[in-house]
Structure 1
Amino acid sequence: MRLRTACPAPSGAWTVELRSHTDGLALVCRQCPHAGRRVAAATARSAALAHLARHARGDLRPSHLRTCQCRERGCRWHPRHRGCNGPIRFLLTCEHGGRIWRLADTCTACAAATDRAAVVPDTTLAPPPRAASPRRRRRPREPDEKTRVRNMLSYLAATLPGDTSPSARLLALQCALRVDDSLHIRLSRGTLRSLRIDAPEPWRDLERVHWLRTSPPSTRGKIIAELFDSGLLGQAPARPDRRRAADWALRAGRPSKAAQAGGCSN
């Protein structure tokens, strides 16, 4: 008698669901054989994204071996369009008000037709690079600062609620690019003033959606906070390059001196 073995779950697409539980929420993965594990409501979104990232890191493939998973399932994740086209990228999708999260290989055409979704750069899910030798002068890694800021904005667009204010998103960008390995951030009030977000409202907006938690003021001139999105630790490359991107975003967000001078002319 020939034994029938279970077929492995198709790779390239992973889905997690946050289900209601008596003690809070349960994270259920459709690709994991074990039962769902309990997660706190404040960190449920971060836990779901981190779980998806672990699946993707364990199945990284060359581009010529990746296929559009949306097409493999009959393109039922979006309205009809002309057909699959373009390079394959990771697409993060949020459904049912944040209850279901999906990460899948998707072509450019299907990604553009999918609502409440954002393209996740492959470098975001790649393992962190090894630290360079201290005797060598470290060179910045690709991509450039502008591309890194754009990728981070795309990630935040998928993970933050849609009603998050622009000032809170600008604050979240600086926090995400400057966070350390323990998910803590220290921002000077001078930096916040230069971006014109030196006010408590943006911090309260991010605390309201459980994205961060501020600490009582202990250092004069600085605000200390703890971030709850553990998926930020997978951002690549190293922290110095992300800080350079944060500085670039800081300069790009400042009003130009020429514009200020023009506004003061008689």
Structure 2
Amino acid sequence: MITTECLEEKARQIRKNVLEMVYRAKTGHTGSSLSNTDILTTLYYSIMNVDPKNPELENRDRFILSKGHAVESYYAILGDKGFFPKEELETFSQFGSRLIGHPNNKVPGVEMNTGALGHGLSISVGMALAGKKDQKSYRVFTLMGDGEQAEGSIWEAAMAAAHYQLDNLVGIIDRNKLQISGTTDFVMGLEPLEEKWKAFGWDVVSVDGHDIEKMRQIFEELPITKGKPILVMCYTTKGKGISYMENVPHWHHGVPTAEEYKQALCELTNIEGCNHE
């Protein structure tokens, strides 16, 4: 089994890939991808049953990135695992590239095009229900943003998942408390968010979304209750890993300057004397 230390190092490398992709393309959702990197690293390198050599494996676990704008870390992991040549990451958001700014199911490993917020959970409910009806053992994981919790379709899907007793469905919320136009409290108050999901019939577990060891323990122990879908509330920091990006709304989709890029690489490669001014 891969160690927690190796997973943490892998997450650091993925963050570096994200930074390189955004800086090269001069576009992207930097802070959003950095906040979900540890979650995706835990799932793809330790939890999910997926095979890069056989992306259409019938009984594979399914993953849907509902917060599709945070695609850079997703592509970086798929490339690193060998779903497509890693060199293709250099084409991100360039003309003619299949690695566009939201998940594209022409890319091996991507189950569904996403990006219109509020749709990913509904898609995942359908996949999980199909698995139940076909008596398959695969699980469906969907990563949502906290900003999209204001979408009514999220709650329709949540209600359906509980009704159909989809204990093969794992919803995950990247709870960084920031969205494009400010804090989630300012845009649309969400609390008490955990209690709302419980009221809709879900088991709810909360965790530090940057504590890979604790996340792995939680995902390994699922499902909690037979016949109940699971919601894992991951409390995260937007822009995690780069000091001047952390908890700054601008970095929802900010692109670093040459000096900022140099500073970020310095921090991600653990070089001493990286005091940003």
Give the TM-score normalised by structure 2: 0.28
Work out which structure has the larger RCO, using CA pairs closer than 8 Å and 6 or more positions apart in sequence.
2
Which of the pair is proportionally richer in strand? 1
